[in-house]
Structure 1
Amino acid sequence: MAFSIDKQTLDELNLLGKFRKDSVYHLFNRVRTRGGEQLLDNMFRHPLTNAAEINQRSAVFRFFQESQLEFPFDVQQVSLMREYLDAQGINNAALVFAGTLAKKWLAAITRDERYKKNVQGLQATIITLNRCHAFLAAIPRTNHPYEKRISEISGLLEDKRIGRLSNIDIYKDLPVKTIAYYNHLLKAILRREMEDILSFISELDACIAVSDVARSRHFSYATATDDTRNILSAEDLRHPCIEGAVGNYIALGKNSNVMFLTGANMAGKSTLMKSIGTGLYLAHMGFPVAAVNMLFSVREGMYSSINVSDNIGLGYSHFYAEVVRVKQAAQAAAAGKKLLLMFDELFKGTNVKDAYDGTLAVTEGFADYHDCLFVISTHIVEVGVALQGHPNIRFVYMPTVMEGPYPRYTYRLQEGITEDRQGMMIIRNEGILELLNKHS
């Protein structure tokens, strides 16, 4: 079962984007090899939906973090090994020898570089395999979550044919017969084993990169559960990409599956919602999360409506784009999927009366879907008052502290419904009215 998430949600949470320095992907992109980058990209694009698999991956990352392992390979040598193995392998040993001999002959009388590149590739492969063997020798074979994989690769390296490579002096000219033998062995006979070793190196690269981020940022690992409690709880949850971000306690469950969030503009509602969505997405990847701890029931997908804009191409106004987005989420929930659905300032593209009625009706409707989790924010506090008869709606707000005529935002979640109304005060503080009166 694939985790369901659309482009809008990915963009609103800023999850992907290799070249965007503020993206979540960029935060974890400390890999060094091309294979490591491909693996990282695959994990970001395909979150897990099985609790056991999620917890297993988290345990592996935690093992690397606690072991403080460093990437032992030379990136250039790994790249040369990759190119060497990608060159066409031939199953017939005699033809391999003849081809190798021909390349050496051409290199002697012309500027043909193929023989030189072949030798360099074999040398890089020997160096990489030796470093892999030394790395594995320093890691315990048992009593850790990565022991099966370590044992698999160690078994490959214990093959006597591969073992002989460690005795080759790569700084001496190698006989053509030796080069041809290993070309045939590594590219044809042991091709699958060599690919597995390169895959292992990519795994090491990704695991070390992710665990380094967890250690430097003081992240922890969430615990996934497949039970029916429909739970999401996190202590000190914060946004992973914001240095010094304020953390909050989040608690959603089967009997309180709707979080109704109020607060003034700039109080931190949108950032809190992005923190929840990002944290849950990373948790489904088995990645470290920006929280002291987290427990969650596996979701089948996630949808958000945080930065909805108009669509000129389709002729959608801002309000209609919001309506379409809510309809998409409602269809997904009605299909019986277990989702996290987040809506920031519902129907802000229309008048206050319609926004009030729409927010109230939609929140009441969503509250009946007890298998989903909802986070709904608004600055229309009257909606919260009207919803207080629903036992499964939890009311929280982001407070504003007034220091004289100026607001200060704590970003600390509190229980209840806010009564903060600082809009006109901020307008006055900016001197807008005085500026306009000068020209009246």
Structure 2
Amino acid sequence: MMLKTDKQTLTDLNVLDWNSASLLRYFDRTLTLGGQDELYNYLKHPLASIDAIIERQQAIAYLGTVHITDLFDKHMMADLERYLRKPIEPRASHPLADLTKGESFLFFSLSAKRERLFIYQSVREIAMLFTALEGIIDAAMSSGKAIGLLRKYADFFSANASFFDAEELRRMGSGKKSRRSTLRHNYLFRGPHKNRVRELFDMLYTIDALVAVAKMWNENSLCFPKMNTDETPASLLDIVGLYNLALHKPIKNDLHITTGKNIWFLTGANMTGKSTLLKSIGICIYLAHVGFPVPAESMEILFYNGLMTSINLVDDIGSGYSHFYAEVRRLKAMGEHMALHSPSVIMLDEIFKGTNYQDAFEATLNFINSISGIERSLFFISTHITDVGERIANNKHVALKHLETLADVEQGARFTYKLIDGVATEKLGMWFLNRESVFDTFRAIKPSPKDDPS
């Protein structure tokens, strides 16, 4: 089974949007359009097993140690895609007649010299790609390192050794070609071996995407998570040095969550960073299941089957749903999801903020009681309803956490963004309103003399 999620979760974690702060943008160091498409598909589809995750991690780690970016050229690949789509003329039954016909058609019947040059160049570039990729895979195989899914590509070259003359391809790739050889390979590339050339292109796009991730791994000191199975005892999630990619100077936090205490009750005043923390955790969990490195110093996690979040939930005016009813529907969907995909991770930011305080208090307390005892799954609940903390303080399944706020003589409050134990006690709403002189702004509005009823 793979990590199942949904559109709301992908939106909350900003995975696939094209804005500047999305995961897709952060990892998109690709040099070809095909590589970019491959990266998008990687981020859209978590992997189905720990073995598949390890294979991708190993391939990324290996490609991060070699320099092969010169191989990727967006414009060259666009031209080669166009070349491969071109229809090829019907061939004669006898090879010699076939070759003669092709030569006549291509070099004597075509009026455009540019078309002939396009064919020459395309054949040479495909030969160059075949040779270069074979060299990369051979080097990986002989490196003695774990190379993951790159090992599968070695089978491609072994299987196709009988279809392509490696030495002839090397000569063609270096520019040492004859008209006859070009004609023959033009026919092979766009005719009987077209699917093999297509596989070659897909291989290059895959490597381009993996190299892009490797660049991000190297430049930002990311780490590869260790994935555990259900048989792994005690720990459900361990992260050391967790941070958010969107922050210029992020504050790092550590997490340690065990089977017996798998419900996090997270409190803190506005602007303390609760939503950012939840997103950071969710991003690490999601990337781990994609096989990508994560923004942390180290990470160990259970292989989960589901991840659902409610962080940026909005009301559905078109359907006539209030914000609270949207919350209710979302929570029910999470329960139904968990019934099919356990163990799961559930993240709720400012739970039940669409209703009054008393309703929110009772609903939050009832929800925590209803999930207590669901082992192996993770629950992250952030709220301003700090009074619930007193009622769940003795619940052995709940960990009380908050983000620290310090008193400051000059500024009144200072946010450290550090995660600590306990329930937040600071109430900073009035402090913010007074600091910004909100009430004074309205008090300063006086009626003009002509409006004075006296």
Whether TM-score is above 0.5 comes out as yes
Mind listing any 5+ residue stretches in structure 1 that lack a counterpart?
none
Mind listing any 5+ residue stretches in structure 2 that lack a counterpart?
447-454
When normalised by structure 1's length, the TM-score is: 0.91
Whether 1:413 aligns to 2:419 is yes
Aligned residue number for residue 255 of structure 1: 260
Say if 2:125 and 2:173, in contact at 8 Å, map to a contact too.
Answer: no
List per-residue Cα deviations over 1:81-119 (Å, max 9, x = no partner): 333333345675544652442232232xx3475433322
Question: For the structure 1 residues 310 and 96, does the alpha-carbon distance in structure 2 shift closer, same or farther, using more than 3 Å as the test?
Answer: farther
Q: Give the whole-Å Cα distance in 2 for the aligned partners of 1:156 and 1:186.
A: 16
Deviation at 1:374, TM superposition (A): 0.4
Aligned residue number for residue 346 of structure 1: 351
Q: Give the whole-Å Cα distance in 2 for the aligned partners of 1:178 and 1:360.
A: 77
Aligned residue number for residue 80 of structure 1: 79
Q: Give the whole-Å Cα distance in 2 for the aligned partners of 1:215 and 1:407.
A: 37
Q: Give the whole-Å Cα distance in 2 for the aligned partners of 1:347 and 1:244.
A: 32
> Could you say what secondary structure the match of 2:29 adopts?
coil
Whether 1:184 aligns to 2:187 is yes
Aligned residue number for residue 270 of structure 2: 265
Tell me the amino acid that sits aligned with residue 28 of structure 1. Answer: F
When normalised by structure 2's length, the TM-score is: 0.88
Tell me the amino acid that sits aligned with residue 79 of structure 2. Answer: L
Question: For the structure 1 residues 157 and 244, does the alpha-carbon distance in structure 2 shift closer, same or farther, using more than 3 Å as the test?
Answer: farther
Aligned residue number for residue 15 of structure 2: 15
Say if 2:306 and 2:338, in contact at 8 Å, map to a contact too.
Answer: no
Say if 1:49 and 1:298, in contact at 8 Å, map to a contact too.
Answer: no
The residue correspondences of 1:220-369 to structure 2 (distance < 5 A) are 220-228=223-231, 229=233, 231-335=236-340, 337-369=342-374
Aligned residue number for residue 3 of structure 2: 3
Deviation at 1:178, TM superposition (A): 2.6
Say if 2:57 and 2:224, in contact at 8 Å, map to a contact too.
Answer: yes
Higher mean Cα deviation, 69-78 or 280-289? Answer: 69-78
Aligned residue number for residue 122 of structure 1: 123
Say if 1:77 and 1:127, in contact at 8 Å, map to a contact too.
Answer: no
Corresponding residue to 1:208 among 201, 205, 211: 211
Deviation at 1:134, TM superposition (A): 4.8
Corresponding residue to 1:102 among 102, 105, 121: 105
Whether 1:167 aligns to 2:179 is no
Corresponding residue to 2:433 among 427, 430, 437: 427
Q: Give the whole-Å Cα distance in 2 for the aligned partners of 1:289 and 1:252.
A: 18
Q: Give the whole-Å Cα distance in 2 for the aligned partners of 1:387 and 1:169.
A: 70
Deviation at 1:438, TM superposition (A): 3.0
Deviation at 1:363, TM superposition (A): 1.7
Tell me the amino acid that sits aligned with residue 21 of structure 1. Answer: S
When the two chains are superposed, the root-mean-square deviation of aligned CA atoms in Å is 2.4
Q: Give the whole-Å Cα distance in 2 for the aligned partners of 1:350 and 1:155.
A: 64
> Could you say what secondary structure the match of 2:402 adopts?
strand
> Could you say what secondary structure the match of 2:348 adopts?
strand
List per-residue Cα deviations over 1:213-272 (Å, max 9, x = no partner): 011111111011112446111011111232221111112221111111010011000000
Say if 2:2 and 2:48, in contact at 8 Å, map to a contact too.
Answer: yes
List per-residue Cα deviations over 1:23-48 (Å, max 9, x = no partner): 01110011111221122111111101
List per-residue Cα deviations over 1:158-187 (Å, max 9, x = no partner): 656232122248757842x33321123333
Deviation at 1:157, TM superposition (A): 7.6
Question: For the structure 1 residues 9 and 97, does the alpha-carbon distance in structure 2 shift closer, same or farther, using more than 3 Å as the test?
Answer: farther
Aligned length: 435
Question: For the structure 1 residues 432 and 236, does the alpha-carbon distance in structure 2 shift closer, same or farther, using more than 3 Å as the test?
Answer: same
> Could you say what secondary structure the match of 1:5 adopts?
coil
Higher mean Cα deviation, 74-83 or 309-318? Answer: 74-83
> Could you say what secondary structure the match of 2:142 adopts?
coil
Q: Give the whole-Å Cα distance in 2 for the aligned partners of 1:431 and 1:121.
A: 68
> Could you say what secondary structure the match of 1:289 adopts?
coil
List per-residue Cα deviations over 1:288-340 (Å, max 9, x = no partner): 10011111111111111111111111001111111111111122224462111
Deviation at 1:138, TM superposition (A): 4.9
> Could you say what secondary structure the match of 1:186 adopts?
helix
List per-residue Cα deviations over 1:127-158 (Å, max 9, x = no partner): 32343355456545242222624633553686
Q: Give the whole-Å Cα distance in 1 for the aligned partners of 2:11 and 2:189.
A: 43
Higher mean Cα deviation, 143-152 or 40-49? Answer: 143-152
Say if 1:222 and 1:288, in contact at 8 Å, map to a contact too.
Answer: yes
Question: For the structure 1 residues 407 and 128, does the alpha-carbon distance in structure 2 shift closer, same or farther, using more than 3 Å as the test?
Answer: same
Q: Give the whole-Å Cα distance in 2 for the aligned partners of 1:430 and 1:217.
A: 37
Say if 2:13 and 2:283, in contact at 8 Å, map to a contact too.
Answer: yes
The residue correspondences of 1:369-388 to structure 2 (distance < 5 A) are 369-388=374-393
> Could you say what secondary structure the match of 2:407 adopts?
strand
Aligned residue number for residue 144 of structure 1: 145
